[in-house]
Amino acid sequence: MSAASPTGAFLAFCRQWAPAVEQALRDLLPPVTAAPCRLHEAMHYALFPGGKRLRPMLVLLGCQAAGGDPTRALRAAAALECLHTYSLVHDDLPCMDDDDLRRGRATCHKVYGEALALLAGDALLTLALEGAASAGSGAVVELARAAGSLGMVGGQVEDLAVEGDPRQHSLERVQWIHDHKTGALITASVLVGAHAAGAGALPAAVDAPLRAYGEQLGRAFQIADDCLDLTGTAQELGKNPLADVALGKLTWPAMVGLERSLAAARDLAESARAHAARATAAVAAWRPEAVPALDATRALLQDVASYAVDRRS
């Protein structure tokens, strides 16, 4: 893909914060020695070792974008990863996608059985909203709306409904599903992070461009992911390639082909970059004390958008 991440700033940010994010996850989770041990083992199994921890990194970035020190957002960052992981554990269950492989390993229910995997998912979701409370009740509402029946869960229901039913396929439909199933949580990551900055309620002038940034970014990531499903190897993906195709999943490349999908992802990344500039300008007006750091923050937000469509590094 083109639009190569020009600065590598986001990957450097991820490397810098990865140890703190892993520690925040260990702090949020009960230890495997706590009763019931096997439940906590299953939760740890699902969470460690993790993937790229994209959502926690977006929480930290959202905090920085709102003029806060990312350290304040670490517990909320861990919360977003718990929420994402719960959704994977439940999606993999036999009554859902019935997947055997996740992040290159046996799925949670293959190791711990269906009942324990279901309950480990429930516990991770519960823990996620507890962790989000560290950023205030506004962050809880933001995350719950993104994750619930009008957000991620709703998107999952629609995704299952259209699976293998080509009569229901349209680009409008695929976009609705993406926006709900994955986009809502990407957007919530950025906004939960902004809440964690601890500067009180976000002014509409800050909330709106940050939200638009998250939405465009989420779309770019999802389309690029769907393209990777067609072109990547099992090792690169950590799951079986062509899994979406096998399930008859509704994806951008399935609707309009690889080339047009990649072009759309690039357009969305460009739009996200413009929203990032608007967001940091609004934060500069809201919190003048944050100005010295905002040039670097804007470049970082924009680099994430480039990274979304170019994962070469």
For a second copy, the binding residues (CB under 8 A) are 30, 34-36, 38-40, 43, 86, 90, 93, 95-96, 113-116, 118-123, 125-127, 129-130, 132-134, 136-138, 140-141, 144-145, 147-150, 153-154, 156-158, 160-161
Query: Taking the complex as a whole, how short is the minimal distance between the CB of residue 130 and a second copy, in angstroms?
Result: 3
Task: Determine contact, residues 75/27, Cβ cutoff 8 Å.
Answer: yes
Query: Among residues 87 and 302, whose Cβ is nearest to a second copy?
Result: 87
Query: Taking the complex as a whole, how short is the minimal distance between the CB of residue 145 and a second copy, in angstroms?
Result: 7
Query: Taking the complex as a whole, how short is the minimal distance between the CB of residue 236 and a second copy, in angstroms?
Result: 29
For residues 73 and 235, give the distance between their C-alpha atoms in angstroms, rounded to a whole number: 32
CB atoms within 10 A of CB 116: 18
CA dist 153 → 21, 115, 140, 298 (Å):
25, 20, 16, 31
CA dist 54 → 57, 216, 237, 292, 308 (Å):
5, 15, 15, 26, 10
Residues near 125 by beta carbon (within 8 Å), at least 6 away in sequence: 82, 83, 86, 147
Query: Taking the complex as a whole, how short is the minimal distance between the CB of residue 157 and a second copy, in angstroms?
Result: 4
Residue 106 DSSP label: E
* N- to C-terminal Cα separation, the chain: 12
Query: Among residues 95 and 246, whose Cβ is nearest to a second copy?
Result: 95
Query: Among residues 4 and 161, whose Cβ is nearest to a second copy?
Result: 161
Query: Among residues 147 and 202, whose Cβ is nearest to a second copy?
Result: 147
Query: Among residues 62 and 121, whose Cβ is nearest to a second copy?
Result: 121
Query: Taking the complex as a whole, how short is the minimal distance between the CB of residue 46 and a second copy, in angstroms?
Result: 12
